[in-house]
Amino acid sequence: MKKRGMADSMLVAIEIVGAALVSFLLITTALRWADSETPYKEYLSKDIGLVIESLMASPGNIKINYSNNASDYIIDIQQDSVAVYTDNKDDGMQSTFIPSHKIKMESVELRNPETIQFLKTNDEIIINEEIQENLDLVYCCEKTGYKKQKINLLVDLKDEENELIYPKLCVIANSFMVNIGNKNFIGNLISTRKLMEKTDDEISQINCMDESYSIPEKKADVILSITTGNYNDDSNNIKAFVLSGSEKEEESKRLACLIINSISKSMITEDLEITGASVVPVNLTTTNYDFPLDLISSYTENQQNFESVFVMIELGNINSDQGKDLIEKMTQIGELIAEGFSDYE
Amino acid sequence: MNNKIFFSKKGSGYEIGKKPTYYVVIFFFLTISFMLFGFLIISEVSSSSSIPDNARTTVLINRFLNSEDCFAYKDSETGRVYPGIIDIEKFNENNLEKCYYAEKKYDSKSFRLTLNGEDIEKKTILTTNWGSSRFGQASQYVLLYNNGEISKANLLIAVQK
């Protein structure tokens, strides 16, 4: 009887221990899953994949600040997959996304990123913790085969009727001319404005006190016309107009693009807002923009037969605050235009 | 073998004898409970981390309509891409294959796209993974670029999971 009692007690004890063990297992498993990072890792990997697929579905340039917190994980993004893990890949979750044959994307591993930014510009996706790229950059076509030789470069200035703006444009033009001279420009600098007298060793400069306008006899290989936008809104766009259908349209677009990008890239670090940037091919017969028509028609009556590279750069909007700030950076802008020009070949 | 342990008689070893059956039953139910518990947790985890199916489908349809790699019309002069305007010359299976990798590893959905407009003949293209399973479909009004002309058209989009 005593033995049986002892066996009963033992069984009860075992039952209690078993029940406690089972309860403990169930509760800890539930708690582990409740607290588990596994679902979040899986969610992050899928969500990042979806963001990349969305970027691939979007035309134009886009920058996305990713809002989910991924600072506890390592995010490994490959050409078609996203892995999210803590220490090693075995404890992580991975998902795939559908890549694009045309859009380039470098593989990247972000370790405990505080922020994640996605940037799509033209045919490239960049992912990093912080991206300084400027969305206003314009896609420049590949080198056009146009070789910079000893060229005649004509600098044309507009806005002479605006007494406040014209002197500033003149400073920009002179800064441009000095800077391309310093960048080993080989060629002749000519202008529709009167140049100051100089010795052979000196670089040509426009006489800003003399607003007279004349078309040089020497034909220009490249014409750069500088003006400002005059719009009744807050926009501050940089535009470059080229002659649509002209013989050097592609070369003109490339030069325009390089100049725009040179300015836009620099202005983002200056905290100056450029609201947009574009290269605009125009048909002179259908536009009401103020083009240097006398100059263009002195080369040919038909813009299709225009044989020179032509770019009219419009520097912001003088009616907006940001546009006014932009035009105040005269010497810097001249330098940036020269930088864009020197990249052109 | 001591029968008292396994088969009890009234008043002697009844409780002890009943235990093995009890343990077998308990073990059986516990196993089922554990499996059920695990299944519930896994499905809960899966549902909490899943992206709504429609969201991904929408993104993929946007790729067809908005990306110049797929069917979106691109003005060759300005380089501008017009989202939502389908270039009829681009609307073919060859282009679809290039812009959408219909592979199992990408968990790619299967699409059947039917373009129908006043000025064109009805045209249907399929992704390479289109099969005979069930599908849902929706139609969407789009603009069509055809030889320099823009016209209205209807795009019927059928999707298989």
Tens-digit pLDDT profile for residues B30-70: 888 888 887 787 777 667 777 787 888 999 999 999 988 89
Cβ contact, residue pair B48, A101, below 8 Å: no
Cβ contact, residue pair B99, A100, below 8 Å: yes
Residue A117 included in any domain:
yes
Cβ contact, residue pair B48, A280, below 8 Å: no
Domain that holds residue A44: 38-128
A46 to chain B: which residues are within 8 Å by CB? 49-51
Whether residue A55 sits in one domain with residue A169? no
Of B44, B55, B69, nearest to A100 by CB-CB distance is B69
Q: State the pLDDT at residue B2.
A: 47
Count how many domains chain B has.
2
Give dist(CA B118, CA B133) in Å, integer: 31
Residue A195 included in any domain:
yes
Q: Are A227 and A192 in contact (CB under 8 A)?
A: no
B40 to chain A: which residues are within 8 Å by CB? none
| A264-270 contact pairs (CB < 8 A, 24+) | A264/A134, A264/A136, A264/A137, A264/A138, A264/A238, A265/A134, A265/A137, A266/A332, A266/A336, A267/A134, A267/A326, A268/A132, A268/A134, A268/A136, A270/A329
- Of A76, A94, A128, the one marking the end of a domain is A128
Q: State the pLDDT at residue B14.
A: 45
Whether residue A289 sits in one domain with residue A250? yes
Residue A141 included in any domain:
no
**Shortest Cα distance from B100 to chain A (angstroms)?**
7
Whether residue B127 sits in one domain with residue B69? yes
| Helix, strand, coil share (%) of chain A residues, nearest 5 | 35, 25, 40
Whether residue B154 sits in one domain with residue B89? yes
The residue of chain B with its CA nearest to that of A45 is B49
Whether residue A119 sits in one domain with residue A247? no
Whether residue B124 sits in one domain with residue B64? yes
Cβ contact, residue pair A4, B16, below 8 Å: yes
Mean pLDDT score, A140-167: 78
For A210, the token pair is 């003399």
Whether residue B134 sits in one domain with residue B63? yes
Express as a percent the part of chain B with pLDDT over 70: 86
Q: Are B118 and B151 in contact (CB under 8 A)?
A: yes
Whether residue B140 sits in one domain with residue B88? yes
Whether residue A104 sits in one domain with residue A172? no
Mean pLDDT score, A33-62: 85
Q: State the pLDDT at residue A115.
A: 92
Residue A313 included in any domain:
yes
The least confident of A44-48, A60-64, A312-316, B137-141 is: A60-64
Residue from A1, A9, A56 to probe the interface with B (highest B Cβ count within 10 Å): A56
**Shortest Cα distance from A42 to chain B (angstroms)?**
6
Cβ contact, residue pair A29, B100, below 8 Å: no
Residue A19 included in any domain:
no
Cβ-based contacts under 8 A for chains A and B: 89
Give dist(CA A323, CA A320) in Å, integer: 5
- Of A69, A93, A128, the one marking the end of a domain is A128
Question: HSE (CB half, 13 Å, CA atoms) of A315?
Answer: 31
Q: State the pLDDT at residue A284.
A: 83
Residue from B62, B106, B110, B129 to probe the interface with A (highest A Cβ count within 10 Å): B106
Mean pLDDT score, A179-205: 84
Whether residue A157 sits in one domain with residue A92? no
Q: Is the pLDDT of residue A286 over 90?
A: no
Give dist(CA A103, CA A120) in Å, integer: 9
pLDDT digits (tens, 9 = 90+) for B108-135: 889 999 999 887 889 999 998 888 888 8
Whether residue B130 sits in one domain with residue B98? yes
Whether residue B145 sits in one domain with residue B79? yes
Residue from B19, B25, B40, B45 to probe the interface with A (highest A Cβ count within 10 Å): B45
Q: Are A152 and A223 in contact (CB under 8 A)?
A: no
**Shortest Cα distance from B16 to chain A (angstroms)?**
7
Q: State the pLDDT at residue A147.
A: 58
Query: B72 — contact with chain A (CB < 8 Å)?
Result: yes
A34 pLDDT band, cuts 50/70/90, is low
Domain that holds residue B41: 3-49
Whether residue A87 sits in one domain with residue A173? no
A321-338 burial: b if 16+ Cβ within 10 Å, else e? ebbbbbbebbebbbbbbb
Q: In what order do the strands lie in the sheet containing B81-87?
A: B72-74, B81-87, B136-146, B149-160, B110-117, B123-126
Whether residue B61 sits in one domain with residue B32? no
A139 to chain B: which residues are within 8 Å by CB? 79
Cβ contact, residue pair A43, B48, below 8 Å: yes
Whether residue B110 sits in one domain with residue B59? yes
Cβ contact, residue pair A59, B67, below 8 Å: yes
Mean pLDDT score, A18-26: 84
Q: Is the pLDDT of residue A134 over 70?
A: no
Whether residue A172 sits in one domain with residue A271? yes
Specify the residue for token string 């040089």: A216
Q: Is the pLDDT of residue A20 over 80?
A: yes
CATH number of the domain residue A227 falls in: 3.40.630.40
**Shortest Cα distance from B101 to chain A (angstroms)?**
6
The pairing of beta strand A237-243 with beta strand A309-317: antiparallel
Q: State the pLDDT at residue B126.
A: 92
A241 to chain B: which residues are within 8 Å by CB? none
Whether residue B58 sits in one domain with residue B24? no
Whether residue B94 sits in one domain with residue B32? no
Cβ contact, residue pair A46, B49, below 8 Å: yes
Whether residue A239 sits in one domain with residue A297? yes
Whether residue A192 sits in one domain with residue A102? no
Count how many domains chain A has.
2
Q: Is the pLDDT of residue A247 over 50?
A: yes
The residue of chain B with its CA nearest to that of A246 is B77
Cβ contact, residue pair A50, B51, below 8 Å: yes
Q: Is the pLDDT of residue A283 over 60?
A: yes
Please give the DSSP secondary-structure letter assigned to residue B88.
T
Whether residue B91 sits in one domain with residue B39? no
Residue A87 included in any domain:
yes
Give dist(CA A288, CA A272) in Å, integer: 29
Whether residue A176 sits in one domain with residue A79? no
pLDDT digits (tens, 9 = 90+) for A305-327: 888 999 999 999 999 998 998 98
Which pTM does this prediction carry? 0.62
Specify the residue for token string 């995010």: A75
The pairing of beta strand A187-191 with beta strand A151-157: parallel
Whether residue A236 sits in one domain with residue A179? yes
Whether residue A160 sits in one domain with residue A58? no
Residue A22 included in any domain:
no
